[in-house]
């Protein structure tokens, strides 16, 4: 069978599983819709958390970034991995004990203020929409190649699928769908990695192949070979870094602390019965995440070697079928500037004739390596699983913020549970439409868009959550001022240097030499300083709030979840 037939079979089968789970787990209460009734097993929750965490950026885009950026791409690997560890150790147990299953709910109660809650709702919506744009874009990229539709049409199809199981099943449906999606995405990620690692290095395990010699008998190490290829084409050595130290530090820290403020991950700690189960699910999730993250650098290197050796200086009429297939999507292009019929792939922009969207590298890698058609289709199914799992989690955050934190907690406290559930579904439907728009008109490639979402989370939520847990003296005036200044500063920088607004700017104009992806660190530090200073210049929080902060930091009877 050809690739498209296999794709229809595998993608169709996985979608049938997702739909079946959504129908089986349809909910009738807000508890089921928001936190799956709090009865998910830690192992299942660990898988669901891993799927929620490993988005299209992890599956599709991260290895592509590393493949083109080389050493510099490691900041994404370090930041996202370290961020999950930070969240698991520093914040998760305390937030779970506090008993509030949304970040705005925690901030509203901790800072005894509906203004603080509203600011947090706005920040959650901004972060989630920025993040979900990358996921929907990833869905569009996969569909564009493997179902031979336009990227826009691919986004529309993804919107329909996510709408069905997120709106019908809520967190309960999303959780068990994500368990299935994790199994699919990790299998789809690892199988081609095993194949290609064995092809290139003779080692089945990609983590070992990454540091091994290539299988041509020359005794040359894979990374040594890649450095040679880069130098020959005028690129910097693959293993050398070109980013400034301060930018590397800023991006890594922004991704780490941004993780700790991501609302769609935090809510996962409330879907299990007990605090102990939350800790267990964190451990399971870290194990499941590590499988993919330790494989990504190897896949990046394999893809880079295969790409260069396959297309560089080859006759355009003789390139393999995969080149033409991806060229039709508009994500790969050849411009014969010197009219010699050969593809010149070099670092010099004036003479380079090959344009490649970084997001295609993981998806195209099995085709470049000439793997069986079923493996190529499997990767498509895995990419969709990764993108849809995170998109669903983010859409639930948006609907929860609107229905629970805005309507139930502020606008109409007397609303019935049924009415709140109706509003949650309406908000989810609205979120799907907006997410689709941003998927069609994204502010960058998938991983860059997602990195901006992490920067926004770092700039807004992290200081408020951290100080809310560990600083009894932190009050509502400090938290509100810090969040507003942090999110506005990050949005200004992102719009100016990423989207060209406010007169635009070039990398030479970056403040302190820090890129938009790393500026969340600066905005976070500004937020932190302002919050502490303002809180010290204004009244202490009420005694009961200070006692509550003391309670959640020490072992004892967990606070009950209130919703």
pLDDT band (50, 70, 90) for residue 560: very low
State mean pLDDT over 361-390.
86
Element (H, E) at 332: strand 332-334
Q: What is the pLDDT of residues 84-109, one digit of tens each?
A: 788 777 777 787 777 766 788 889 88
- The residue segments making up the domain with residue 240 are 3-304+370-552
- Evaluate whether residue 499 is within a structural domain: yes
- As beta bridge partners, residue 356 has 332
State mean pLDDT over 137-146.
78
How far is the CA of 306 from the CAs of 67, 79, 311, 327, 430, in angstroms? 11, 27, 9, 17, 42
pTM summary value: 0.81
Nearest to residue 134, comparing CAs of 231, 61, 80?
61
Please give the DSSP secondary-structure letter assigned to residue 217: T
Domain CATH number, residue 464: 1.20.1730.10
State mean pLDDT over 491-519.
89
In this prediction, residue 563 carries a pLDDT of 39
pLDDT band (50, 70, 90) for residue 220: very high
- Evaluate whether residue 152 is within a structural domain: yes
Nearest to residue 353, comparing CAs of 363, 340, 366?
340
The DSSP code sequence of 353-412 is -EEE-GGGHHHHHHHHTT--HHHHHHHHHHHHHHHHHHHHHHHHHHHHIIIIIIIIIII-
How many beta carbons lie within 10 A of that of residue 135, not counting itself?
A: 31
In this prediction, residue 31 carries a pLDDT of 61
- Evaluate whether residue 536 is within a structural domain: yes
Report the range of poorest mean pLDDT among 14-28, 328-342, 489-503, 535-549: 14-28
CB 445 within 8 A of CB 359: yes
Structural domains in the chain (count) = 1
- Evaluate whether residue 316 is within a structural domain: no
- 199 has a pLDDT exceeding 80: yes
Between 361-368 and 373-400, two packed helices, what is the crossing angle to 10 degrees? 170
- Taking phi over 0 as left and psi of -120 to 50 as alpha, with beta for the rest, 256 belongs to alpha
In this prediction, residue 35 carries a pLDDT of 57
Percentage with pLDDT > 90 across the chain: 27
Does residue 137 or residue 243 have the better pLDDT? 243
In this prediction, residue 217 carries a pLDDT of 85
Q: What is the pLDDT of residues 543-559, one digit of tens each?
A: 989 888 888 776 554 44
Q: What is the pLDDT of residues 63-86, one digit of tens each?
A: 888 999 888 888 888 888 888 788
Distance CA 162, CA 467 (A): 35
Q: What is the pLDDT of residues 161-176, one digit of tens each?
A: 777 766 666 667 677 8
- 54 has a pLDDT exceeding 50: yes
- 561 has a pLDDT exceeding 50: no
Report the range of poorest mean pLDDT among 35-39, 222-226, 381-385: 35-39
**57 is written with which tokens?**
């950026």
- 223 has a pLDDT exceeding 90: yes
- 443 has a pLDDT exceeding 70: no
- Evaluate whether residue 69 is within a structural domain: yes
CB 320 within 8 A of CB 245: no
Burial class from Cβ neighbours inside 10 Å (0-12, 13-18, 19+) for residue 518 reads buried
- Evaluate whether residue 286 is within a structural domain: yes
Distance CA 394, CA 127 (A): 9
Residues in the chain, how many? 563
- Evaluate whether residue 293 is within a structural domain: yes
- Evaluate whether residue 315 is within a structural domain: no
Does residue 559 or residue 295 have the better pLDDT? 295
| SS3 per residue for 508-528 | HHCHHHCCCCCHHHHHHHHHH
Q: What is the pLDDT of residues 3-48, one digit of tens each?
A: 888 888 998 888 888 778 777 766 556 666 665 556 778 888 888 8
90 contacts: CB under 8 Å, gap ≥ 6: 260, 466
- 476 has a pLDDT exceeding 60: yes
CB 468 within 8 A of CB 111: yes
Distance CA 268, CA 53 (A): 10
Report the range of poorest mean pLDDT among 11-20, 128-137, 216-225: 128-137
pLDDT band (50, 70, 90) for residue 327: confident
Q: What is the mean pLDDT of the chain?
A: 84
């Amino acid at each position: 069978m050809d690739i498209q037939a296999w794709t229809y079979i595998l993608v169709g089968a996985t979608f049938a599983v997702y739909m079946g789970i959504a129908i089986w787990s349809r909910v009738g209460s807000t508890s089921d819709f928001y936190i799956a009734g709090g009865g998910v097993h830690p192992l299942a929750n660990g898988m669901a958390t891993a799927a929620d965490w490993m988005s299209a950026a992890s599956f599709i885009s991260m290895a592509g970034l590393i493949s083109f950026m080389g050493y510099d791409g490691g900041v994404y690997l370090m930041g996202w991995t370290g961020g999950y560890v930070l969240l698991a150790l520093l914040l998760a147990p305390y937030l779970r004990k506090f008993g509030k299953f949304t970040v705005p709910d925690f901030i509203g109660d901790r800072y005894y203020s509906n203004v603080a809650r509203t600011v947090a709702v706005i920040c959650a919506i901004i972060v989630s929409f920025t993040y979900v744009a990358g996921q929907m874009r990833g869905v569009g990229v996969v569909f564009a190649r493997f179902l031979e539709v336009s990227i826009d049409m691919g986004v529309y199809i993804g919107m329909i699928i996510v709408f069905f199981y997120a709106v019908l099943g809520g967190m309960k449906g999303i959780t068990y769908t994500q368990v299935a999606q994790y199994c699919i995405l990790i299998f789809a990620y690892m199988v081609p990695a095993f194949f290609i690692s064995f092809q290139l290095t003779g080692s089945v395990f990609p983590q070992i192949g990454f540091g091994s010699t290539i299988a041509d008998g020359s005794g040359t190490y894979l990374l040594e070979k890649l450095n040679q290829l880069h130098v020959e084409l005028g690129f910097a050595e693959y293993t050398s870094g070109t980013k400034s130290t301060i930018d590397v530090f800023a991006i890594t820290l922004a991704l780490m602390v941004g993780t700790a403020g991501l609302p769609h991950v935090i809510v996962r700690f409330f879907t299990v019965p007990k605090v102990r189960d939350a800790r267990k699910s964190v451990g399971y999730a870290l194990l499941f995440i590590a499988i993919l993250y330790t494989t990504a650098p190897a896949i990046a290197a394999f893809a880079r070697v295969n790409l260069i050796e396959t297309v560089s200086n080859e006759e355009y009429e003789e390139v393999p079928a995969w080149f033409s297939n991806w060229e039709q999507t508009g994500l790969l292009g050849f411009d014969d500037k010197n009219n010699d019929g050969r593809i010149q792939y070099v670092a010099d922009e004036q003479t380079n004739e090959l344009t490649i969207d970084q997001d295609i590298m993981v998806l195209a890698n099995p085709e470049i390596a000439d793997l069986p058609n079923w493996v190529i289709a499997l990767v498509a199914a895995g990419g969709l699983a990764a993108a849809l799992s995170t998109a669903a989690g983010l859409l639930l955050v948006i609907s929860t913020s609107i229905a629970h934190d805005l309507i139930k907690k502020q606008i109409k406290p007397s609303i019935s549970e049924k009415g709140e559930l109706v509003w949650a579904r309406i908000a989810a439907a609205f979120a799907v439409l907006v997410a689709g728009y941003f998927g069609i008109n994204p502010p960058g490639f998938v991983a860059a868009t997602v990195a901006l979402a992490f920067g926004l989370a770092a700039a807004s939520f992290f200081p408020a959550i951290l100080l809310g847990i560990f600083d009894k003296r932190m009050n509502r005036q400090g938290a509100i001022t810090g969040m507003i200044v942090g999110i506005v500063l990050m949005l200004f920088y992102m719009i100016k240097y990423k989207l060209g607004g406010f007169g635009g700017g070039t990398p030479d104009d970056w403040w302190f030499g820090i890129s938009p992806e790393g500026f969340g660190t600066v905005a976070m530090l500004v937020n932190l300083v302002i919050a502490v200073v303002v809180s010290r210049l204004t009244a202490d929080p009420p005694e009961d709030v200070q006692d509550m902060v003391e309670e959640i930091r020490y072992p004892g009877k967990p606070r009950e979840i209130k919703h």
